[in-house]
Amino acid sequence: MKPIHKLTACALLPVTVACSAVSAFADGGDQMGFTTYYFTDSGSNTVATTAFNLAKKLLDATVVLIDIELDHVTVPPVTAITGATRPQRRKDETFEKNRGQIIVGAEQGLGLYAKVAGNFYSSSEVDYKSTGGIATFSQELAGRNTTLTLRGQYNADRVGELLEDGSLIEQPKKTYQALASLSQILSPTTVMDVTYDMMYQKGFLSDPYRQVRVYDGQGASTLADELHPDYRTRHAGTVRLSQYLAPLGASVIGSYRFYFDTWDVHSHTGEIKFNKYIFKDLVLALDYRYYAQSAAWFYQDRYVGPEYIAGALRTSDYKLKPFSSNNAGFSLTYLLRGLRGSGNDLDFLENAGIEVMYFRYFNTLDFSADILQGTLKFSI
């Protein structure tokens, strides 16, 4: 098969500023981005995020990356103890906390279309700390029409619980993850991606703040802390097909993901995205995702019996219930390349853009959320 230029394949991706970043590095440019993100759900929980990232090309085949993210989380007063995911301390007051995250890394070209990358990750908040490392290898094959990517990741977390007196109890959790992905250009307008990823977790896998109501034979109840298994292995396979529609100046991307794990949770995810140039420098993207899953083997609607006060497994995590969900939204991306003019002072706008995105999430458990995000990205 004749090699296809990278910019042709890029047109098959969601037509956003991220696509411009690919060509910017090919041309020797650097990238800087700023993102603000707001999330609110039907439980009145909110998350406000500000993120900054910088990718700097030092040598012909060397790129360094830094990503900084700050979150502000607000959880309302506790109105029902069961299922609460916040400290019981000062439960009649709104609980607020901040989270800081930093990622630093480097990517090195090896020649013959191969690259390796390494990243270090650290995240900290008042009751959760995480550090980790990511290693990635990618190789273009078959005339650069095929790309193989291998990735490994390790995280060491400290899961904390804030007690009534303000003291903190921490318990360890470790995560090992591996991914293999194959991207194949099928034609000048079609790309197929196949991915398999596996994750193994061990340690404290419960939420220290969630409690489960346990009943006896007479209908009386008491509260017990959530108790999950101390290990979990997850598997997922994804197939994605991207098609560029030249007559429409648009692209469509369809994907399917199947997931299963050792807790007996199985899920199916289908997603379709449509991207269309509305004007020369304005892109509209439409996105819809459907998700359905089974329950964990130890999940019950109602826990009855003294064994659940003792050591029997129990959960109030809605993500371990059987449910389905819908996620639909849109984004508008304005490419700033048209503002460059004839001078050189605005050349950094060549690969710059502003994106605004909104998504609405809802599921069969009467939970819903609104997600709003704004992103500015430009070359330097």
Nearest to 357 by CA among 289, 283, 304: 283
Residue 240's pLDDT band (cuts 50, 70, 90): very high
Please determine, for residue 186, whether its predicted confidence score (pLDDT) is greater than 50: yes
The pair of three-digit structure tokens given for residue 220, joined into one six-digit string = 């009386």
Please determine, for residue 162, whether its predicted confidence score (pLDDT) is greater than 70: yes
Query: Token match 């490419």: residue?
Result: 335
Q: Please tell me the distance from the alpha carbon of residue 32 to that of residue 376, in angstroms, as a whole number.
A: 8
Over residues 242-260, the pLDDT tens digits come to 999 998 889 999 999 999 9
Residue 346 is which amino acid? L
Over residues 258-281, the pLDDT tens digits come to 999 999 999 999 999 999 999 888
Backbone CA torsion sign across 161, 164, 166, 169: negative
Question: Strand, helix or coil at 320?
Answer: helix
Whole-prediction pTM value? 0.85
The pair of three-digit structure tokens given for residue 47, joined into one six-digit string = 């998350």
- pLDDT given at position 44: 80
Phi, psi of 336 (to 5 degrees): -90, 5
Q: How many other C-beta atoms lie within 10 A of the C-beta of residue 176?
A: 14
Asked if 288 and 306 touch (Cβ cutoff 8 Å), the reply is no
Asked if 74 and 56 touch (Cβ cutoff 8 Å), the reply is no
Surface-to-core class of residue 87, CB atoms within 10 Å of its CB (0-12 exposed, 13-18 middle, 19+ buried): buried
**Domain regions of the chain by residue span:** 64-329
- pLDDT given at position 160: 93
The pair of three-digit structure tokens given for residue 326, joined into one six-digit string = 């819908």
Over residues 41-95, the pLDDT tens digits come to 887 889 999 999 999 988 888 999 999 999 999 888 865 443 447 676 667 778 8
Q: Please tell me the distance from the alpha carbon of residue 243 to that of residue 13, in angstroms, as a whole number.
A: 9
Antiparallel, parallel or unpaired: β 323-335 and 221-225? unpaired
Please determine, for residue 22, whether its predicted confidence score (pLDDT) is greater than 80: no
Cα 35–chain centre separation: 15
Q: Please tell me the distance from the alpha carbon of residue 349 to that of residue 281, in angstroms, as a whole number.
A: 12
